[in-house]
Amino acid sequence: MMDTKVMDIKERLINILVEEVKPAMGCTEPVAVALACAKAKELLGEEIVNHRVLVSPNVYKNGLCVGIPGTERVGLKISVALGFIGGHSENGLRVLESITNEEVKLAEKYMDNTPISVSPADTKEKVYIEVNLEGKNNTSKVIIRTKHDNFVYLEANGKVLLAEEGFVEIASTTESVEENILDTITIKELVQNVEDMEFKNIEFLLEGISMNEEIANYGLENKIGVGVGYGIKKSIESGLLGDDLINHAMMITAAASDARMGGVKMPVMSSNGSGNHGITAILPIVAYNKKFPQTDEKLAKSLAISHLVTAYVKNFTGRLSAVCGCGVAASTGATAGLAWLMSGNIKQVEGAMENIVANLSGMICDGAKSGCALKLASAASAAVQSAIIAGQDCIVPPLTGIVGNTVEESIQNLGKVSDKGMTTTDEVIINVMDDMNKVD
């Protein structure tokens, strides 16, 4: 008989995958703002007379400079307008996907003719979006918190329609009393439970391969944004770069980010609330599979390890932070999935993760924008490199820098540095970006 504790852990890990690996179109922060605005407009049920949109500093940072799908514009203000004009909240993080060209034009006109207010909220929450609307006869209020599609408060004409238990507006310090398995599970237990998963329960993860490959191919065929993936491809074709595993992983990962950050209207499979995380967690594994074909079941389990390790790291660093989540979290997930796919040796899986911690722990997040493709290229390269050398038992030794005695301790140390140690850094980054973008 299967141990019930093991079964429980496995089910909870599968639930994390179901909750955290889902399609999204557009950069997740402005998409979440559009989602909140769409919901608030639906609850209002009439034309908007006044509006007020508050977002956490991290959402503000990530939405300030990024391209918005279907438009030629960047930033949160056009996201607000799109949510008001054409958003359908039932589409979740794909809220922008059904918006027509005519609605885009109307949203751009609305943005040009209506002062749109989007301000940083005074909160320590990483993901927080509050939309307050007034019409001639009605009012509405919507709050998203913790996760980008997690509505915690809905109000229409003063009547509370939804209030998450224990909810406190802005700067809530209430912690969930529910046990978080990611606080206590070891990487070895995580991998062992994935190895025991039935293929049918994680087969859906393979959808992320085709979805993210499709947008990567678009970025390779069209020079978008910085054109990092396109540039690597041309350099391989000219002989300046070799057509090896690392360069191929860099190329397709960067190309997908080029297209996504450039506002191409195509969905990606996200991971832990971020499309770029999903791109980083998935495409280096895809690159390996192109060179060394694997069975669908092995691929699915490798992807499960990648997404779950990404979630494990984000559990300690925070959902949004001063450090690049693709560099420190999704790359750690990708290298763990790759190391497992290459050898299945838990020591080498843990070693690959230690190598990433020693390598990319200082990469800052200065918001979502076209330059993210460069960071994703570095993250993909480091993920492949770390897995390859760990396979040769070349691993950063314990107690060097922030690398601890165990991989779990190393990730916890990374969390302390990125969440607590770099709070001031995050504030400075946001202030610098805000100063450069104070053009209404």
- The pLDDT score that the predictor gives to residue 170 is 55
253 and 114, same structural domain?
Answer: no
Q: Look at residue 404 and tell me if it is in a domain.
A: yes
- The pLDDT score that the predictor gives to residue 434 is 76
- The pLDDT score that the predictor gives to residue 27 is 87
Average pLDDT, the chain: 91
Does 1 or 282 have the greater pLDDT score? 282
For residue 1, pLDDT over 50 is answered with no
Confidence of residue 438 (pLDDT cuts 50, 70, 90): low
**Of 163, 197, 223, which one is at a domain's C-terminal end?**
163
289 and 151, same structural domain?
Answer: no
Q: Look at residue 63 and tell me if it is in a domain.
A: yes
- The pLDDT score that the predictor gives to residue 289 is 98
Q: Look at residue 423 and tell me if it is in a domain.
A: yes
236 and 118, same structural domain?
Answer: no
pLDDT more than 90, % of the chain = 77
Q: Look at residue 17 and tell me if it is in a domain.
A: no
Q: Tokens 């019409």 map to which residue? A: 135
8 A C-beta contact, residue 327 and residue 379: yes
| Parent domain of 418 | 181-436
pLDDT more than 70, % of the chain = 94
8 A C-beta contact, residue 26 and residue 96: yes
- The pLDDT score that the predictor gives to residue 165 is 63
Q: Look at residue 65 and tell me if it is in a domain.
A: yes
225 and 110, same structural domain?
Answer: no
280 and 394, same structural domain?
Answer: yes
378 and 247, same structural domain?
Answer: yes
pLDDT digits (tens, 9 = 90+) for 395-408: 999 999 999 999 99
What angle, rounded to 10 degrees, do the helices at 101-113 and 76-86 form? Answer: 120
- The pLDDT score that the predictor gives to residue 166 is 56
8 A C-beta contact, residue 379 and residue 331: yes
Domain count, the chain: 2
Q: 3-class secondary structure for the chain?
A: CCCHHHHHHHHHHHHHHHHHCCEEECCHHHHHHHHHHHHHHHHHCCCCCEEEEEECHHHHHHHCCCECCCCCCECHHHHHHHHHHHCCHHHHHHCCCCCCHHHHHHHHHHHHHCCCCEEECCCCCCCEEEEEEECCCCEEEEEEECCCCCEEEEEECCEEEEECCCCCCCCCCCCCCCCCHHHHCCHHHHHHHHHCCCHHHHHHHHHHHHHHHHHHHHHHHCCCCCCHHHHHHHHHHHCCCCCCHHHHHHHHHHHHHHHHHCCCCCEEECECCEHHHHHHHHHHHHHHHHHCCCCHHHHHHHHHHHHHHHHHHHHHHCCCCCECHHHHHHHHHHHHHHHHHHCCCHHHHHHHHHHHHHHHCCCECCCCCCCHHHHHHHHHHHHHHHHHHHHCCCCCCCCECCECCCHHHHHHHHHHHHHHHCHHHHHHHHHHHHHHCCCC
For residue 2, pLDDT over 70 is answered with no
315 and 245, same structural domain?
Answer: yes
- The pLDDT score that the predictor gives to residue 282 is 98
- The pLDDT score that the predictor gives to residue 177 is 41
pLDDT digits (tens, 9 = 90+) for 180-221: 899 999 999 999 999 999 999 999 999 999 999 999 999 999
pLDDT digits (tens, 9 = 90+) for 265-308: 899 999 998 999 999 999 999 999 999 999 999 999 999 999 99
403 and 259, same structural domain?
Answer: yes
Q: Look at residue 103 and tell me if it is in a domain.
A: yes
303 and 222, same structural domain?
Answer: yes
What angle, rounded to 10 degrees, do the helices at 228-238 and 207-221 form? Answer: 70
Total-model pTM: 0.87
Distances (CA, A) of 173 to 55, 123, 345, 415, 416: 17, 10, 40, 18, 18
pLDDT digits (tens, 9 = 90+) for 147-185: 899 999 999 999 999 998 655 555 433 334 456 899 999
Q: Look at residue 15 and tell me if it is in a domain.
A: no
344 and 205, same structural domain?
Answer: yes
128 and 203, same structural domain?
Answer: no
- The pLDDT score that the predictor gives to residue 397 is 96
Q: Look at residue 250 and tell me if it is in a domain.
A: yes
For residue 146, pLDDT over 60 is answered with yes
Average pLDDT over residues 411-421: 89
- The pLDDT score that the predictor gives to residue 112 is 92
Distance between start and end Cα atoms, the chain: 65
209 and 156, same structural domain?
Answer: no
Confidence of residue 420 (pLDDT cuts 50, 70, 90): confident
**Of 110, 134, 163, which one is at a domain's C-terminal end?**
163
**Residue 90 belongs to a domain with what CATH number?**
3.30.1330
Distances (CA, A) of 166 to 171, 176, 417: 13, 9, 29
**Residue 387 belongs to a domain with what CATH number?**
1.10.4100.10
pLDDT digits (tens, 9 = 90+) for 322-362: 889 999 999 999 999 999 999 879 999 999 999 999 999 98
For residue 64, pLDDT over 90 is answered with no
**Of 163, 198, 220, which one is at a domain's C-terminal end?**
163
Confidence of residue 41 (pLDDT cuts 50, 70, 90): very high
